[in-house]
């Protein structure tokens, strides 16, 4: 039966995805794109009749995916984006205009008359097509993120500047290479032991004609006085504007604060996660060599994302536009 074939095919693809996640080693951009593509496939091929069913299926698969690799937060973020897309398309199909007012607010408390429990049970025929189209838009956005961030490079990097970075971030690499086409500047890369990804970053940058110096992590503070800007990437942006970034970033941020050097974080919007530090995760890491650092929002000057530059205190607002509060816990 063709229906059963489609389902087993879908199941196989999900299993393959989970296995790849567990293996790790892929960049977060690639993970985000493949997650969104898989969610689109689930929407197209799984059996569901109302928005509520679809959301349940996606939430279930989302939980499995985040359990496979908890440190890869982009998977959970993509699931939440798709859930928000489904809610919006459902609201649009119903014809209600208050999709902007999804959040709890004092205003809503005062003016709502009676229980406004949405249970997403109504069936709409064009819903599937609408959701798939919206996910396609999301995929297009994901594909363009690195370019959108790199386009902003010339506003922030000026000639003869000394820029410091740590480890290897594909976003920062593209950012610096884009600026190097028009400006001449010097880059200092902290090697970021023990994996020493800084070495690869330096090789890649120098291949494009950028003058690069590699320094050991211990020299960060000593060299900071000569640095004009610090530009870093991150693994996750947390809801309070803080970062979960590669080990050594907190040191870099403290040194920058001490010398009043601006710290710029290049992070695409799919790295924004509704988690807040202190809830879980970082303390559950029982490691002698922790992989990630927490950088508090006070040490960060600016976030450059594919939608422009923002202050850390504004992150909560961007988050409310990307995800629905009920989806914070999958």
Partner 1 sequence: VNKLFFLVTQMSQDPDVASAVAAIRSLLEFLKRDQSETILGLRENLTKAIGRLQEADSSVAVSSGGELFLRFISLTSLENPDLSQCRNVMIERGELFLKKISLSRGKVAKLCHTFIKDGAKILTHSSSRVVLKVLESAAADKKRFTVYVTESQPDSAGKLMADKLRRLNIPVTVVLDAAVGYIMEKVDLVIVGAEGVVESGGIINKIGTYQMAVCSKAHNKPFYVVAESFKFVRLYPLNQQDVPHRFKYKADTLKTAEDLNQEHPIIDYTPPSLITLLFTDLGVLTPSAVSDELIKLYL
Footprint on this chain of partner 1 (rule: CB under 8 A)? 103-107, 109-114, 239-241, 276, 278-280, 283, 297, 313-314, 316-317, 325
Q: Which residue has the tokens 């050991």?
A: 216
Question: Residue 55 or residue 239: which is nearer to partner 1 going by CB?
Answer: 239
- Rounded-to-integer distance, Cα 70 and Cα 318, Å: 23
φ, ψ (nearest 5 deg) of residue 116: -110, 50
User: Can you list the positions of beta strands (E) in the chain?
Assistant: 162-166, 186-190, 211-215, 229-232, 236-237, 243-246, 263-266, 292-295, 302-305, 308-310
CA distances for 39 relative to 7, 12, 173, 197, 326, angstroms: 14, 14, 29, 32, 19
The residue among 123, 188, 185, 193 whose CA lies nearest residue 154 is 185
User: Which of 213/280 has CB closer to partner 1?
Assistant: 280
Nearer to partner 1, 8 or 111 (CB): 111
Tokens read off for 202: 């330096």
Q: Report, in Å, the least distance between residue 310 CB and partner 1.
A: 12
Least Cβ distance, residue 261 to partner 1 (angstroms): 21
Smallest separation, CB 312 to partner 1 (Å): 9
Nearest distance from C-beta of residue 140 to partner 1, angstroms: 30
Of the two residues 2 and 113, which places its CB atom closer to partner 1 in the complex? Answer: 113
Q: Where are the alpha helices (DSSP H) in 113-228?
A: 127-151, 153-156, 170-180, 197-207, 220-223
CB of 251: closest distance to partner 1 in angstroms?
15
Which C-beta is closer to partner 1: that of 53 or that of 326? Answer: 326
């Amino acid at each position: 039966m063709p229906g059963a074939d489609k389902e087993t095919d879908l199941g196989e693809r999900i299993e393959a995805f989970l296995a790849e996640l567990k293996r790790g080693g892929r960049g977060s951009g690639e993970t985000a794109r493949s997650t969104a593509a898989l969610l689109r496939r689930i929407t197209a091929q799984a059996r569901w009749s109302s928005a509520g069913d679809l959301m349940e299926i996606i939430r279930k698969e989302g939980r499995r995916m985040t359990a496979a690799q908890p440190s890869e937060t982009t998977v959970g973020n993509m699931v939440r984006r798709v859930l928000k897309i489904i809610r919006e398309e459902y609201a649009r199909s119903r014809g209600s205009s208050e999709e902007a007012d999804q959040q709890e607010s004092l205003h809503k408390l005062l003016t709502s008359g009676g229980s406004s429990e949405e249970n997403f049970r109504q069936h709409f025929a064009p819903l599937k097509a609408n959701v798939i189209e919206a996910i396609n838009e999301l995929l297009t956005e994901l594909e363009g993120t690195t370019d959108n961030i790199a386009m902003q490079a010339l506003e922030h990097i000026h000639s003869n500047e000394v820029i410091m970075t740590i480890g290897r971030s594909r976003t920062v690499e593209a950012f610096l290479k884009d600026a190097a086409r028009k400006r001449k500047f010097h880059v200092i890369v902290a090697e970021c032991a023990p994996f020493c990804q800084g070495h690869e970053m330096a090789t890649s940058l120098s291949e494009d004609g950028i003058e690069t110096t590699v320094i050991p992590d211990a020299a960060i503070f000593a060299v900071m006085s000569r640095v004009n800007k610090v530009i870093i990437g991150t693994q996750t942006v947390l809801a309070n504007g803080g970062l979960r970034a590669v080990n050594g970033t907190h040191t870099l941020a403290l040194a920058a604060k001490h010398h009043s050097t601006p710290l710029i974080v290049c992070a695409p919007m799919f790295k924004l996660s509704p988690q807040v530090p202190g809830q879980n995760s970082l303390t559950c890491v029982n490691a002698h060599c922790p992989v990630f650092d927490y950088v508090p929002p006070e040490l960060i000057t600016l976030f450059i994302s594919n939608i422009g530059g923002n202050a850390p205190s504004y992150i909560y607002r961007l988050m409310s536009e990307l995800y629905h509060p009920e989806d914070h816990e999958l």
